[in-house]
A and B are shown apart, each in its own frame.
Chain A
Amino acid sequence: AQTVTQSQPEMSVQEAETVTLSCTYDTSENNYYLFWYKQPPSRQMILVIRQEAYKQQNATENRFSVNFQKAAKSFSLKISDSQLGDTAMYFCALRRGGAQKLVFGQGTRLTINP
């Protein structure tokens, strides 16, 4: 069975600060993918960043980067120079290779304050 745990239900930072969201997961697979999705108040689920487990290099997308620690089964998301538009629920998700099912964490509600 695969599980994803996000231990921070809520976080709040000031605009322009850097914030890190935590995610741990459990899987017995060696081939899998990890994702961070953003869900703003509009409810739309938007892919922020993805990481292939076989890649050692941490993924980066503009202000968003991850710290992937495979041995520790940890996959944190760092948002640099946070903006008001980053306010949203953030979900960490896991998908094993060869399958399509995404397993989501419970989410972290992030608020960026002006």
Chain B
Amino acid sequence: DARVTQTPRHKVTEMGQEVTMRCQPILGHNTVFWYRQTMMQGLELLAYFRNRAPLDDSGMPKDRFSAEMPDATLATLKIQPSEPRDSAVYFCASGLVRVRDEQFFGPGTRLTVL
């Protein structure tokens, strides 16, 4: 049963600390997305990759956020330094372009920045 996995599931940290969230996309998927969900803004796309190359990160605050795919089995989203307004649920999703175009979501990382 192929699925997207994310770690950690929950993270509580203090303002100013570095946070790293990890995602393992479904094997064989060539597109990876990072979304953020908050009560106020809903679901927003932060960045996405195709074949490990960043295609669009316009939704991501560049000064503190960074997203990478060191290899095809791992995507990371890093926040440094973290701020209370970063508290949200961060979802990773993966897909295979031109094959039903469906995005499969991971369970999310709930981040709380105190």
Mark A residues whose CB is within 8 Å of B.
33, 37, 42-47, 50, 91, 95, 100-107
Contacts and interface: CB of A to CB of B under 8 A. Distances in A.
Contact of A101 (B48, B102, B110): B48
Contacts of B91: 45
A100 B31 contact: yes
Given A100-B33, A101-B48, A101-B56, A91 B43 contact: yes
Nearest to B101: A33
Interface of B: 31, 33, 42-45, 48, 50, 55-56, 89, 91, 93, 95, 97, 100-105, 107-108, 110
Of A43, A47, A91, which is in contact with the most chain B CB atoms at under 10 Å from its CB? A43
Contact of B45 (A37, A45, A101): A101
Contacts of A102: 33, 43, 45, 103
Contacts of B50: 100
A47 B102 contact: yes
Contact of B89 (A43, A46, A50): A43
A95 B101 CA distance: 10
Contact of B108 (A43, A95, A105, A106): A43
Contacts of A91: 43
